[in-house]
């Protein structure tokens, strides 16, 4: 059961990282609305963000507390994994240490997936946390469209296109492709 729990936690972390990178908000993340297969299910009040708003939720019943809004979604998914681990532990199917080890994989998978997705959206070889944070801050302040902002970046000429030097790299090498430390906030 410990290996199974680890797999569920890793899949859930990757799924949440993909959702965050796509601007997708599930809307209702109760434990019964999550899949142990790491799939998106129970398409209730889901939505994709138009204007970037970290507090966006498509769930009209969630407007007041924003429990499942975009910025809270990763923590809600992690909480669901913790509840699964608690159930397995209570049933004596996993030891506490094994459950904790499995749960520690969530943040690693979440950040690795999110960082990879954001690096690709920005046309970078590796994730640049400062650039991503600055861009998302500006997008939130200006209410920029999520999809169109990233699509517009594809029309910006690369360094190789704007300089006569063929030796310059068109994509900066940030050497920051590793996952950030656990606890780092996702925008």
Known catalytic residues are 32
Structure tokens at 70: 């975009």
d(CA 151, CA 169): 21
* Long-range contacts (CB closer than 8 Å, 24 or more residues apart) made by 97-103: 98/2, 98/5, 99/2, 99/5, 101/2, 101/6, 102/2, 102/5, 102/6, 102/9, 103/5, 103/9, 103/78
Q: Quick one: angle between helices 96-103 and 2-22, nearest 10?
A: 20
d(CA 33, CA 62): 15
3-state DSSP assignment of residue 8 = helix
Check: CB of residue 30 under 8 Å from CB of residue 42: no
Check: CB of residue 26 under 8 Å from CB of residue 73: yes
């Amino acid at each position: 059961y410990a290996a199974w729990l680890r797999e569920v936690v890793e899949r859930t972390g990757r799924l949440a990282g993909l959702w965050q990178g796509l601007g997708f908000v599930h809307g209702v993340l109760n434990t019964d609305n999550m899949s142990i297969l790491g799939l998106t299910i129970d398409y209730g009040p889901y939505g994709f963000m138009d204007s970037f708003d970290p507090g966006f939720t498509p769930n009209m019943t969630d407007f007041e507390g924003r429990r499942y809004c975009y910025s809270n979604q990763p923590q809600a998914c992690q909480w669901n994994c913790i509840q699964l681990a608690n159930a397995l532990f209570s049933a004596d199917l996993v030891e506490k240490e094994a459950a904790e080890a499995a749960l520690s994989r969530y943040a690693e998978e979440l950040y690795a997936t999110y960082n990879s997705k954001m690096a690709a959206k920005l046309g970078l070889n590796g994730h640049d946390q400062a650039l991503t944070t600055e861009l998302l801050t500006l997008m939130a302040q200006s209410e920029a469209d999520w999809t169109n902002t990233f699509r517009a970046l594809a029309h910006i000429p690369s360094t190789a296109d704007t300089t006569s030097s063929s030796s310059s790299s068109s994509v900066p090498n940030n050497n920051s492709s590793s996952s950030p430390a656990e606890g780092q906030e996702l925008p």
